[in-house]
């Protein structure tokens, strides 16, 4: 299975390349720009893949509010460019979307969003990703669209840190932390997301999938679990979003769960705490 991975230097891209092994071709931002439709078609025609996995995104959520043009160019038009070019050579396409397509309204804790829930994004990033989802589905019948959330992985992305790394570094250098309790999500380990993506491709699955590590937590609980596992004993001060709102409105509840994985006989991903422990181990932050 010859597979192109776009966004190969990113945290998910790196884990996809490892999961795919031989037959995978990684393309970084310097090799391909998804906003350049002509260039995307040329490269995909040259490579003749069976699948194209597109992890490229403009996903700095607050910056998307300031630059909707770039947000739509990468997350919507760029997604369509890749899906269309893949379709032209008979390849399937995988596109990653976000929990921020949901508004969380009416969802009490422990009732995660499934693929059956209608999107209602609250910010430009979510709107551009929802547009991307629809354009991918329109351009290529052999599509897998994956909504995920709170990604972290062992590869260092351009951001330079993951949320758990940031918490550990701040706790060690500043000795105190303040994290919001009023936003709940399903944090997701890219190592596991890559393996589950591959399982869906191998089964020729199509359509929309909500794929996250199992369960849900607030950012505060995520930070607390990280410090507990890392053996750092400090109290994390609880805070509310209103005390430090970003430019973008964020859903207060965006945990997700899949009702569609079972259709293809694919196991759900392990619970988020187990995944976090595996990650901290793989980073050498805790011993096995």
Ligand X SMILES: NC(=O)c1ccc[n+]([C@@H]2O[C@H](COP(=O)([O-])OP(=O)(O)OC[C@H]3O[C@@H](n4cnc5c(N)ncnc54)[C@H](OP(=O)(O)O)[C@@H]3O)[C@@H](O)[C@H]2O)c1
**CB-nearer residue toward ligand X: 12 or 261:** 12
> Contact region for ligand X (CB under 6 A) — 52-60, 103-111, 112-120, 220-228?
52-60
Distance of alpha carbon 130 from alpha carbon 134, whole angstroms: 6
**CB-nearer residue toward ligand X: 26 or 142:** 26
Contact map string, positions 149 to 168, toward ligand X, x by CB under 6 A? xxx-----xx----------
User: Would you state the structure tokens that stand for residue 36, as one six-digit string?
Assistant: 């350049």
220 CB-near residues (< 8 Å, 6+ apart):
179, 180, 181, 236, 238, 239
**CB-nearer residue toward ligand X: 33 or 170:** 33
**Position 19 contacts ligand X (CB under 6 A):** no
User: Would you state the structure tokens that stand for residue 79, as one six-digit string?
Assistant: 């997604």
**Position 9 contacts ligand X (CB under 6 A):** yes
**Position 26 contacts ligand X (CB under 6 A):** no
**Position 119 contacts ligand X (CB under 6 A):** no
Is residue 187 within 8 A of residue 249, CB to CB? The reply is: no
**CB-nearer residue toward ligand X: 55 or 87:** 55
**Position 29 contacts ligand X (CB under 6 A):** yes
Most distant CA pair in the chain, distance = 55
Least spacing, CB of residue 250 vs ligand X, in Å:
12
Catalytic residue list contains 125: yes
Q: Which of 125, 152, 189, 279 is catalytic?
A: 125
The correct pick among 19, 24, 33, 86 for binding ligand X (CB under 6 A) is 33
Strand pairing of 207-210 and 143-148? parallel
Annotate 245-280 with b (16+ C-beta within 10 A) or e (fewer): eeebbbbbbbbbbbebbeeeebeebbebbebbbbbb
> How many angstroms from the chain centroid is the CA of residue 247?
21
Q: Which residues contact ligand X by CB under 6 A?
A: 6-7, 9-13, 28-29, 32-35, 55-57, 59, 74, 78, 96, 98, 148-151, 157-158
Residues identified as active-site: 125
């Amino acid at each position: 299975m010859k597979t192109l991975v776009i966004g190969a230097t990113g945290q998910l891209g790196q884990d996809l390349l490892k999961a795919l092994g031989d037959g995978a071709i990684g393309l970084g931002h310097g090799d391909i720009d998804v906003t350049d439709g002509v260039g995307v078609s040329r490269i995909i025609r040259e490579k003749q893949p069976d699948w194209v996995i597109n992890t490229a995104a403009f996903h700095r959520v607050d910056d998307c509010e300031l630059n909707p043009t770039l947000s739509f160019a990468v997350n919507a038009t760029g997604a369509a460019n890749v899906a269309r070019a893949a379709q032209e050579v008979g390849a399937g396409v995988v596109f990653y979307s976000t929990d921020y397509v949901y508004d969380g309204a009416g969802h009490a804790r422990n009732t995660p969003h499934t693929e059956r829930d209608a999107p209602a994004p609250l910010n430009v990033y979510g709107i551009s990703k929802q547009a991307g989802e629809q354009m991918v589905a329109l351009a290529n019948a052999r599509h897998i669209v994956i909504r995920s959330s709170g990604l972290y992985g062992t590869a260092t992305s351009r951001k330079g840190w993951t949320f758990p790394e940031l918490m550990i570094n701040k706790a060690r250098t500043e000795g105190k932390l303040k994290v919001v309790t009023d936003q709940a999500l399903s944090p997701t380990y890219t190592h596991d997301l890559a393996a589950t993506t591959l399982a869906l491709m191998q089964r020729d699955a199509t359509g929309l999938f909500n794929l996250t590590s199992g369960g849900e937590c607030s950012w505060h609980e995520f930070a607390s679990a990280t410090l507990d596992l890392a053996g750092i004993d400090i109290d994390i001060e609880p805070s509310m979003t209103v005390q430090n709102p970003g430019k973008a409105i964020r859903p207060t509840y965006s945990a997700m769960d899949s009702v569609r994985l079972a259709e293809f006989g694919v196991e759900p991903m392990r619970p988020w705490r187990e995944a976090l422990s595996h990650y901290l181990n793989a980073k050498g932050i805790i011993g096995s």
